[in-house]
């Protein structure tokens, strides 16, 4: 299992959601005003096999507080209301039809949950089979 890198105080340069490929890319850069950061390369965090996600509060200048892997059951408990409302409005994601058994169903599918928190701007969650880190 690949460790999710610390993105604390990184700027979220862009995010891309490829619905057909079920892939999300988050591109982050370190604050170049901090000594030593000007030598660091940007990173792209790639989530493959995405089964669900929700982003909110994009401020077009987002600063990441944290991106962390959390237990799928924790995601369901903490974000269950949002997930249920999304399912009510759209009928998706299909696994949200029964949130009581969703954590077990997602575990069988090999899903991992990720929580994105912001110091400023974009926050949300992602359910995906795989996470990769690309250095630019």
Q: What local confidence, expressed as pLDDT, does residue 123 receive?
A: 96
Of 16, 13, 45, the closest CA to residue 132 belongs to: 45
Sign of the dihedral defined by the CA atoms of residues 102, 108, 109, 114, in that order = positive
Q: Model's pTM, two decimal places?
A: 0.91
pLDDT digits (tens, 9 = 90+) for 1-51: 677 888 888 999 999 999 999 999 999 998 777 777 666 678 999 999 999
Q: What local confidence, expressed as pLDDT, does residue 41 receive?
A: 74
Of 35, 41, 34, 57, the closest CA to residue 116 belongs to: 57
Q: What local confidence, expressed as pLDDT, does residue 1 receive?
A: 67
Q: What local confidence, expressed as pLDDT, does residue 39 receive?
A: 61
Q: Is residue 23 a contact partner of residue 46, using CB atoms and an 8 Å limit?
A: yes
Q: What local confidence, expressed as pLDDT, does residue 57 receive?
A: 96
Domain ranges in the chain?
11-135
pLDDT digits (tens, 9 = 90+) for 90-107: 998 889 999 999 999 999
């Amino acid at each position: 299992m690949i460790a999710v890198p610390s993105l604390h105080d990184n700027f979220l340069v862009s995010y891309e959601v490829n619905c057909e490929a079920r892939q999300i890319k988050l591109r982050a850069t370190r604050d170049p005003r901090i000594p030593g950061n000007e030598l660091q390369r940007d990173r792209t965090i790639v989530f493959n096999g995405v089964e669900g996600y929700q982003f909110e509060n994009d401020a077009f200048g987002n600063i990441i507080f944290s991106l962390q892997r959390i237990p799928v059951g924790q995601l369901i408990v903490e974000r269950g209301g949002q997930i249920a409302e999304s399912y009510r409005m759209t009928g998706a994601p299909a696994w949200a039809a029964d949130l009581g058994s969703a954590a077990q169903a997602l575990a069988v599918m090999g899903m991992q949950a990720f929580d994105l928190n912001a110091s400023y701007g974009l926050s949300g969650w992602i359910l995906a089979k795989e996470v990769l880190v690309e250095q630019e």
